[in-house]
Amino acid sequence: MDEKILREGDGFYKVQSNDDYFMSIAVLTAKRSLDPVLKVGSCIADRNDKLVSTGFNDKTPGGASLPWPEKSNNNIDNKRFIVCHAEVTAIVNSKVKDLTGYKIYITHNPCNECSKLIAQCGIKHVIYLHEWKPDQPKYQAARLILQVADCNLRKYQGPLSQFKCKL
């Protein structure tokens, strides 16, 4: 890990690596989600490791009145039909049009639909914190989509303890 040490007075202070910094932003952004099942956050960094955008899983704009039950027997009330994934909101929220070569940090591995959008945007690095249902076909397809798009998919390997924060 590329840690830098700064001396200030008599103490030493570790500067977070870029991966640690951006993943902590994704984790903090996930706290904005109202999803009753899974809170997901993401952020996009440019080729110079500058923050471009953040996103979290949320309802569509104007969708506050739509139901968001944890479980429903009525398919139309199922949150899966109305939720916008964190990766999508980060890409849509970006003011940068060309994301070629950028990195996206996500609290959970991307699904096939998000992977298609990531590949279409030219994002070349996907770093995720948690593996979510890796044996499901949509997550297997996601890995394949990113692989053929020459997009580096990797699990974040940094210290997880740093993400415990009280606000």
Of the candidates 3, 101, 120, the residue with the CA atom closest to the CA atom of residue 49: 101
Sign of CA dihedral 83, 159, 156, 23: positive
pLDDT in the model for residue 159: 79
For domain 18-162, which architecture applies?
Answer: 3-Layer(aba) Sandwich (3.40)
Return averaged pLDDT per consecutive 10 residues of the chain, 167 residues in all: 50 76 96 90 98 93 70 66 91 96 98 98 97 92 98 90 51
Q: What is the rounded CA–CA span in Å between residue 15 and residue 3?
A: 6
Q: What tokens were used for 123?
A: 């994002």
pLDDT in the model for residue 10: 47
Q: For residue 34, what is the DSSP state? A: -
Find the length of the chain. 167
The predicted model scores a pTM of 0.85
pLDDT in the model for residue 1: 41
Q: What is the rounded CA–CA span in Å between residue 4 and residue 16?
A: 8
Residues labelled as active-site residues:
87
Contact in structure between 149 and 114 (CB atoms under 8 Å): no
pLDDT in the model for residue 139: 95
- Phi and psi (nearest 5°) for 39? -95, 125
pLDDT in the model for residue 75: 64
Q: For residue 101, what is the DSSP state? A: T
